[in-house]
A and B are shown apart, each in its own frame.
Chain A
Amino acid sequence: MEHTSKQKHPGYLTYVFVWLALLAFTSITVTVAGVSLGKYTLFIALAIAAIKSALVINIFMHIKFEEKIFKVFLALSGMTLLIIFVLTFFDFLFR
């Protein structure tokens, strides 16, 4: 990789493009919410929120340009949250 302790960060334009993408996804999620898609509505809303999060975390929060250990930590905390959700719903649904 090209970086050690000094990060290579994107220029102004990259941030503006990411912001435009975030606004586009916001308008999609608002529009989709108005259309009746039954049980898929929640799934689509969460999928779009996940894509927006990925953009914010990778570019705005510079995770894409960080050292590998940051990504490992992020994955670990994400998995922890996922496991808590899955285990809770296992308990809740099969009680």
Chain B
Amino acid sequence: MSSHDEAAAVHHVHRDDVGARMGMWLFLFTEVLLFGGMFLVYAVYRYQNPDQFRAAALELNTGIGTLNTIILLTSSLTMALSIAAIQKGNRFLSVVMLDVTLLFALLFMVNKYFEWSTKFAHGIYPGSKELLGRPNGQILFYGLYYVMTGLHALHIIIGVVIILFMLVQVMKKKITSDNHVKLENAGLYWHLVDLIWIFLFPLFYLIQ
């Protein structure tokens, strides 16, 4: 421990930042296994129905998928910048960056809304007549598409709530340059959501 930390220990009787981050990472590993199981199902079914997966994937909007990829990558950048800012003691920049991150998260969900509602309008949703009339491979593709991108979108929503919570804490000076492990852990969660999208994007939108 450095002398800097000992000075902080006067105010914080018991604090273990490394332990807090490790706890977050352990949670993230369970998330990786949750999505990993779904990717496994995807892998097996795609191996079984390569042509049907390709046919179904061609109907997805690659433009929206690419746009959402750029949005999420940029929101990861602003999250990282927010943490860097609070570490340097720049509370204003940290707050601004969190606001921008929230804005990008919202944009992502707006795109998702338009993407899904277009699919619904075409009658493509789980259990729809249009979809059930198609070959098995396409039903499986769209089932996985809705479950995996849906669970991912749920993570975005949870992320928004967490970031809002952190935003308030930064503004109230509960998160400071000296004590910011909470914001770091929120960042870890947000980056994981980005990480999962990095794999979802080519596997669903870029099949040729």
Question: Which residues from chain A sit less than 8 Å from chain B, CB to CB?
Answer: 4-6, 9-12, 15-16, 18-19, 22-23, 26, 29-30, 33-34, 36, 41, 45-46, 48-49, 52-53, 56-57, 59-62, 66-67, 69-70, 73-74, 77, 80-81, 84-85, 88-89, 92
Among A4, A48, A49, A88, the one with the most B-chain Cβ atoms within 10 Å of its Cβ is A49
B81 touches A46 (CB 8 A): no
Task: Choose, from B70-78, B104-112, B115-123, B131-139, the stretch at the interface.
Answer: B70-78
B202 touches A29 (CB 8 A): yes
- Contact among B1, B70, B195 for A53, CB-based, below 8 A: B195
Which chain B residues lie closer than 8 Å to A11 at the CB level? 84
A26 touches B69 (CB 8 A): yes
B168 within 8 Å of A (CB atoms): no
Among A56, A61, A73, A88, the one with the most B-chain Cβ atoms within 10 Å of its Cβ is A61
B206 within 8 Å of A (CB atoms): yes
Which chain B residues lie closer than 8 Å to A9 at the CB level? 83-84, 87
B36 within 8 Å of A (CB atoms): yes
Report the bound CA distance from A30 to B67 in whole Å.
Answer: 11
Among A16, A66, A81, the one with the most B-chain Cβ atoms within 10 Å of its Cβ is A81
A15 touches B80 (CB 8 A): yes
B171 within 8 Å of A (CB atoms): no
Which chain B residues lie closer than 8 Å to A22 at the CB level? 73, 76
A30 touches B76 (CB 8 A): no
Which chain A residues lie closer than 8 Å to B1 at the CB level? 4-5
Which chain B residues lie closer than 8 Å to A80 at the CB level? 33
Which chain B residues lie closer than 8 Å to A33 at the CB level? 62, 202, 206-208
B130 within 8 Å of A (CB atoms): no
Which chain B residues lie closer than 8 Å to A30 at the CB level? 62, 66, 206
Instruction: List 20 A–B pairs whose Cβ atoms lie within 8 Å, in order of A's numbering.
Output: A4-B2, A5-B1, A9-B87, A15-B84, A18-B77, A19-B74, A23-B73, A26-B69, A30-B206, A33-B62, A33-B206, A45-B206, A53-B195, A56-B76, A59-B80, A60-B79, A60-B194, A61-B187, A77-B32, A89-B44
B152 within 8 Å of A (CB atoms): no
Known: A56-B198, A60-B191, A73-B29. A81 touches B36 (CB 8 A): yes
Closest to A27 in B: B66
A49 touches B202 (CB 8 A): yes
Which chain A residues lie closer than 8 Å to B188 at the CB level? 61
- Contact among A10, A48, A66 for B21, CB-based, below 8 A: A66
A73 touches B25 (CB 8 A): yes
Which chain A residues lie closer than 8 Å to B40 at the CB level? 84-85, 88
